[in-house]
Structure 1
Amino acid sequence: MKQQLEPLFTPWKIGNCEIKNRIVLTSMGGTNLLGWMEVNHFDKDGAKFILEVAKNNCGLVLPGCQPVYNPMYGQWLYKKKKMYEDLAKWMPEFHKTGAKLFVQLTAGFGRSFTISEMMETLYTNKALRVLAKPFMDLDKITAAPSPSPNRWSDKVPSREMTVEEIQEFITAFGKTAKLLKDAGVDGVEIHAVHEGYLLDQFTLKYVNQRTDEYGGSFENRYRFAVEIVKEIKKVCGQDFPVSLRYSVESKTKGFREGALPGESFTEAGRDMAESEKAAKYLQDAGYDMLNCDNGTYDAWYWAHPPIYMPENCNLEDVAHIRKFVDIPVVCAGRMDPETAAAAIADGRIDGAGFARQFLADQEWVTKLMNDKEDDIRPCILCHNGCFNMCHYKGVPNDQALSDSLHLARCAVNAETMQWEKHEIVPTTSPKKVHIIGGGIGGMEAARVLKLRGHEPVIHEQTDHLGGTFIAASAESYKGKLRDLLTWYRKQMADLKIEIHYNEKVESIAPFAGAPVIIATGAVPRVLKKVPGHEKMVEACEYLTGTPVGEKVAVIGGGLTGCEIAYELALQGKQPVIVEMKNDLIAQTGVCLANSSYLREWFAWKKVPVYLETTLQEVKDDSIVCKDASGKEITIPCDSVISSAGYIPNPLAPKGSNVSLVGDCDGVGNLRSVVWRAYEVAMKI
């Protein structure tokens, strides 16, 4: 192990509970031990993930948050005793790893509850609302400190919680914590005065307009969180550790308005002055640890940092708040292990929280300890598999139901939380398999085939592996994507995959009789009907080095176009975005944490954005467009980049012995490429 990392692997205490090292798995929805958005039960998939992380040298493990009142079916978590008996039987196996387990409990979501189009229908139709109440009582699920707009939908507002409901929750926290303690769990974490969830909403002045004992003054706004820890300590004893998930600052300008790194703004939520006071107040109430980051659902990119956020984005704020308490403080949010280790060594923080990296590679801590960092499969902060709740103008949470029910899967690791259908099974009939194309899809297929015992052969028309992912990872801020590409190339070398470079395959006829996987990608959509289209630079051409001028029109405001515009602006150029739809990044599968960052960044930096606008002509020094009213507008520019999408380009059609993977099977994202390649390789 590198000497710089050693502080990460020193013991520490939360109350009287000793933790073997400073690495903390922070909670993620979907890694739950007692079920997620379903009938509560001891969840074997969640337990498998948690145990795998614990076996691989994580010190403190926090499974996914458990609502004490489950939004689905209206279950109180303390009422199902059987699952606690199952948990108690499992805990000795967990404790053999030497790790400690805190279960995170939440009061719920309030106005942050992710409303889908189906939920809007259930709520706005009175008859359906009554019929749905036994399994989804939206009126109760979305209740907040005060009437307020939902983060995702204008059609399902939040009503004010009653004092009786608050007391019912406080009692439920105590009863649930006692059952967990009796099952052998080492502690609990309360979720939270954090991220704009229900308990946090009570503390935030822009949400909480109450005039009773739970609103108004500082003490009243924090009363709910204080009464919860006092109840748990009364029921479980003073020595039972209780952590608090805590957002140091809200970084929020108001409802649905976040504040970006470096932006000057007036804080609508918790500012640092209040946080200094609140941290000590919560410690004095009985909390034994603060597990910290920043943000709310209105500024979601702080708590769920996309690739555009800086590494260690919350560290300075968390280190500052550490000065005001005597209890341990953990920092999470794009943490770099070496930076975390240095901060621990300096006494600035006590532990380092990591989440999605464990989805990409459950063994990453062990690899870190064994000087095998190059073997760590990196998280690329895409949210495509783990948390792809997306939202754009006029559309609430546009997430597939299968994704809503199965969070914590991973775009770059097809196996995570999908072990029943994605598991390496050795072949009983080894074959030579020809793979046409050495992009991510081709390499993932080759990797899985080799692990199963087949003999994959990659035929790549260039002198390098990577395909279009080279362009996709080219922007300056996409180091994690380049790390993934490096990881795949190393896998090919370590597995001794046969690769034929500079070999353009024109036909699969020479491979007759052998299985063939085609991974030839897609070709750019060319706007041939637009006069002057030949003057445009295609997106991938720009990303791989074609120069452009200072003022650049980007045609297409999807994710690719917006990321290109972002890169242009970072370079000091002047991008202009032209998009046919009524919002930027109006596409399924792009998490709101990612898309809201870009939308708000363009607004902050005053990047011109033309929505509901279509390109009519490309000239030498301008483009001509038509807006929603039919008015023709001319936009001066030096260069034009086309990001109008891609069309699948398979070398041959699917057949009995021919499979397609990647974008040649259907243009998607990295998740669709990796998962499809894995599944195809498992069927051969």
Structure 2
Amino acid sequence: MASFEKLFEPIKIGSVDVKNRIAMAPMGILGLSTERGGFSKRAQDYYVARAKGGTGLIITGVAKIENEIEKFHPGSLLCPTIDPGHFINTAGEMNERIHAYGSKIFLQLGIGFGRVAAPMMLVGQPVAPSAIPNYWTPSVTCRELTTEEVEKLVKMAAESAAIAKMAGFDGVEIHAVHEGYLLDQFTIGMFNRRTDKYGGDLMGRLALPVEVVKAIKKVNGNDFTVGLRFSIKSYIKDWNQGGLDGEDFVEKGRDTQEGLTIAPILEKAGYDAFDADAGSYDAWYWAHPPIYQKHGLYLPLTEQLKKVVNVPLIIAGRMEVPELAEKTLEEGKAADMINLGRGLLADPDWGNKLKEGRPEDVRPCIGCHDGCLGRGFEGKSLSCAVNPACGREEEYGVHPADTVKNVMVIGGGMAGMEAARVSALRGHKVTLYEKTGELGGHVIAGSVDEFKKDNERLLEWYKTQVKKLGVDVKLNTEIKPKDVKKGNADVVLVATGSVPSMPNIPGIDSANVGTATEVLLKKKSVGQKVVVLGGGLVGCETAISLAMDGKDVTIVEMLPELMGAGMPVPHSNKIMVLDMLKFHNIKAVLNTSMQKVKDGAIEVMDRNFKKSTIPADTVVISAGLKSNNALYKDVASTVPDTYVIGDASSARNIMYAIWDAYELARSI
């Protein structure tokens, strides 16, 4: 059995004693704050669940220090200064509950968003250190803050920290010299062109973060703990353009050397800890690493940072794999504490499960961003693709069933396994039928590549849970309509998934044509020149997989952009996929449809009806999926309490397969 002793050693952050070395990374609680800038009941339950689950230190999502100089729509974010009494009331109640579990909590204070403020959240013109383009809408120029406004930000930071202290927070974390937010923009020459005391040379650019910590300490006392969210390197290749790991480019933001230079200056100014990472909005896949990034991606940087600072170093960066977290702390070269972000969205009980020696029960994050950041972009509340109860813990949990039922689940993909898991968790007697010899459905092919191994981790977790819960799994068993009608099931959940959509064009049945699934599972041999038909997420990922295997790949897409249809691909994932396509020299032919598969080539036609040919030894079809719901249609009208879930209902993504199944299974 794996031992996780180092994770459960106590640590001191400033004047605050923390019971273990597990921290919850700051993540914006979009949709969970009140209109007056306080913590809603959902937000309180969300943080309390992580304390109850064994997290030693909780760092909240960002709270704006003011809402006048940079005005956001009411309820967009936490803000202690809009209505201090309301904030203290809602936060104080939450903090009392969190402290009952022996956990500590810091309020993250945001100095502002600046050029990265999303227009949908802003009221009026964005602001910045200088007149620079807004990230989301480059045609919009940010208004340069006056010296007096910057001085007011310092005052509001100290005031916000004082309110936080009154509300029972154990400290604050400043947001941040990190990710290209407003305070970070002041420190980076690319964004700061000021000539007053907050600009010019390096020390001028550091004046704002230095003044902020000094002001907070002056108001609250030197023993009041103030941490700093800190990006060591920006990974900015150019405006709105990030750089990949291993890519040769000139850093235009903060390079590693500058990061290592300014950290000791900020420590001397009074910061009690560094919550370290890397990246920027221009390279959002560093600051919000998707599935394609390595676990522990910041470790090479934080190992260098640890050599130049003496205060505790808290690190994030896909550190939720228990063995990696423990090993990093044992080595002691790159971190003093582990920061878990989406890992604690996926499983709030991460700490308790490791303490109890059950790492196999930790539900893994799959780096999809669909349930967290992706929902935020759609104006929806924070949650998690693999944990539907995230952000609504008390009202959407799983409870024992009043009446035990026989539940028949047909299909062993994600939806089927989630339905079986939740039904069994509630006490039902569950039988799961899968026509193939393996559970997993499309996720089996979707976890073949090294950059998709988190899907495999999730698949293994489901297999483990289904087994532990005593679900009767019958593999190699295809269920026919007569089997359902003659069965003794009280409830039938049909999760028969989806099948690839195949275009009706000449030559589609040729020997050199295969689906993305067939290619990824090595069921179809692949030549050197490959054309992938379909530029959705699966098509792009398959193209990258083939290019990494040395193939010459071209994507043919009918639409004017890649990943432009179907389920929205979260921003961080999408821009990384696009950069990976460029990095691997994958060609994209847009506004073009395939007309015919020929010997050694395909014939295509663009929107001007111009035909041409593209060499192709192999053609990979990735033109979407269509629901396989024939069984459901056959039995729905005659078998009571029959439901269709997952792709069988609507071919979408892993999140909705899990969410559909969860909703139905928790209610039957």
Instruction: Tell me the TM-score normalised to structure 1 length.
Output: 0.90
Contact 2:236 / 2:253 at 8 angstroms: preserved in 1?
yes
Give the whole-Å Cα distance in 2 for the aligned partners of 1:451 and 1:329.
39
Instruction: Give the direction of change, closer, same or farther, for the CA distance of 1:89–1:438 in structure 2 (3 Å limit).
Output: closer
Give the whole-Å Cα distance in 1 for the aligned partners of 2:99 and 2:151.
34
Q: How does 1:367-386 map to 2 (within 5 A)?
A: 367-386=353-372
Q: Deviations over 1:378-397 (max 9, x none)?
A: 111111101116xxxxxxx9
User: What is aligned with 2:58?
Assistant: 61
1:17 CA displacement: 1.8
User: What is aligned with 1:103?
Assistant: 107
Give the whole-Å Cα distance in 1 for the aligned partners of 2:509 and 2:34.
49
1:530 CA displacement: 4.6
Q: Deviations over 1:197-220 (max 9, x none)?
A: 111111122222222222222122
Counterpart AA for 2:515: E
1:616 CA displacement: 1.8
Contact 1:532 / 1:619 at 8 angstroms: preserved in 2?
no
User: What is aligned with 2:183?
Assistant: 199
- 1:641 corresponds to 2:645: no
Give the whole-Å Cα distance in 2 for the aligned partners of 1:431 and 1:57.
34
Q: How does 1:196-275 map to 2 (within 5 A)?
A: 196-275=180-259
Q: How does 1:11-26 map to 2 (within 5 A)?
A: 11-26=10-25
1:64 aligned counterpart, secondary structure: strand
User: What is aligned with 2:2?
Assistant: 2
Instruction: Give the direction of change, closer, same or farther, for the CA distance of 1:95–1:269 in structure 2 (3 Å limit).
Output: same
Contact 2:431 / 2:472 at 8 angstroms: preserved in 1?
yes
1:374 CA displacement: 0.9
Counterpart AA for 1:652: Y
Deviates more, 1:259-268 or 1:414-423: 414-423
1:629 CA displacement: 4.2
- 1:437 corresponds to 2:411: yes
Aligned residue among 639, 643, 660 for 1:676: 660
Aligned residue among 507, 526, 539 for 2:516: 539
1:515 CA displacement: 2.4
Aligned residue among 310, 326, 331 for 1:341: 326
Q: Deviations over 1:411-457 (max 9, x none)?
A: 11111112355221322232212222111111111111122232222
Counterpart AA for 1:65: V
Q: How does 1:63-212 map to 2 (within 5 A)?
A: 63-70=60-67, 71-73=72-74, 77-80=80-83, 81-116=85-120, 136-139=122-125, 142-154=126-138, 156-212=140-196
Q: How does 1:619-658 map to 2 (within 5 A)?
A: 619-650=598-629, 651-653=631-633, 657-658=641-642
Give the whole-Å Cα distance in 1 for the aligned partners of 2:79 and 2:475.
60
- 1:573 corresponds to 2:555: no
Instruction: Give the direction of change, closer, same or farther, for the CA distance of 1:514–1:370 in structure 2 (3 Å limit).
Output: closer
1:341 aligned counterpart, secondary structure: helix
Instruction: Give the direction of change, closer, same or farther, for the CA distance of 1:232–1:364 in structure 2 (3 Å limit).
Output: same
Give the whole-Å Cα distance in 2 for the aligned partners of 1:344 and 1:649.
47
Give the whole-Å Cα distance in 1 for the aligned partners of 2:74 and 2:495.
44
Counterpart AA for 2:145: M
* Same amino acid, percent of matched pairs: 39
Deviates more, 1:39-48 or 1:308-317: 39-48
- 1:596 corresponds to 2:544: no
- 1:558 corresponds to 2:521: no
Aligned residue among 273, 287, 292 for 1:303: 287
Contact 1:253 / 1:265 at 8 angstroms: preserved in 2?
yes
Contact 1:68 / 1:76 at 8 angstroms: preserved in 2?
yes
1:10 CA displacement: 2.0
Contact 1:293 / 1:314 at 8 angstroms: preserved in 2?
yes
Contact 1:24 / 1:60 at 8 angstroms: preserved in 2?
yes
1:64 CA displacement: 1.3
Q: How does 1:26-41 map to 2 (within 5 A)?
A: 26-30=25-29, 35-36=32-33, 38-41=35-38
1:542 aligned counterpart, secondary structure: helix
Give the whole-Å Cα distance in 1 for the aligned partners of 2:56 and 2:632.
50
Give the whole-Å Cα distance in 1 for the aligned partners of 2:458 and 2:7.
24
Contact 2:45 / 2:394 at 8 angstroms: preserved in 1?
no
Counterpart AA for 2:423: L
Give the whole-Å Cα distance in 2 for the aligned partners of 1:168 and 1:475.
51
Q: How does 1:451-466 map to 2 (within 5 A)?
A: 451-466=425-440
Contact 1:37 / 1:72 at 8 angstroms: preserved in 2?
no
- 1:50 corresponds to 2:47: yes
Counterpart AA for 2:362: I
Give the whole-Å Cα distance in 1 for the aligned partners of 2:609 and 2:198.
53
User: What is aligned with 2:422?
Assistant: 448
Structure 2 unaligned spans of 5+: none
Give the whole-Å Cα distance in 2 for the aligned partners of 1:495 and 1:341.
28
1:301 aligned counterpart, secondary structure: helix
1:513 CA displacement: 7.6
1:162 CA displacement: 2.2
Q: How does 1:463-474 map to 2 (within 5 A)?
A: 463-474=437-448
- 1:548 corresponds to 2:533: no
1:503 CA displacement: 2.1
Instruction: Give the direction of change, closer, same or farther, for the CA distance of 1:450–1:342 in structure 2 (3 Å limit).
Output: closer
Q: Deviations over 1:336-364 (max 9, x none)?
A: 44344344334322212111111111111
Q: Deviations over 1:499-542 (max 9, x none)?
A: 33222222143248832211111121111135445442011111
Give the whole-Å Cα distance in 1 for the aligned partners of 2:140 and 2:22.
39
Q: How does 1:406-425 map to 2 (within 5 A)?
A: 406-407=381-382, 409-419=383-393, 421-425=395-399
Q: Deviations over 1:72-116 (max 9, x none)?
A: 239952242133134334433322322221110102222212345
Contact 2:406 / 2:488 at 8 angstroms: preserved in 1?
no
Counterpart AA for 2:531: A
Contact 2:34 / 2:40 at 8 angstroms: preserved in 1?
no
Q: Deviations over 1:469-516 (max 9, x none)?
A: 212222232221111111111111111112332222221432488322
Deviates more, 1:504-513 or 1:573-582: 504-513
Give the whole-Å Cα distance in 1 for the aligned partners of 2:584 and 2:90.
54
1:268 CA displacement: 0.5
Contact 1:103 / 1:187 at 8 angstroms: preserved in 2?
yes
Aligned residue among 493, 505, 519 for 2:495: 519
Counterpart AA for 1:594: N
Q: Deviations over 1:233-270 (max 9, x none)?
A: 11101110100000000011121110100111101110
1:276 CA displacement: 1.6
Q: CA RMSD in A?
A: 2.2
Contact 2:38 / 2:80 at 8 angstroms: preserved in 1?
no
Counterpart AA for 2:162: K
Contact 1:36 / 1:66 at 8 angstroms: preserved in 2?
no
Give the whole-Å Cα distance in 2 for the aligned partners of 1:216 and 1:410.
43
Structure 1 unaligned spans of 5+: 120-135, 390-396
- 1:480 corresponds to 2:446: no
Instruction: Tell me the TM-score normalised to structure 2 length.
Output: 0.93
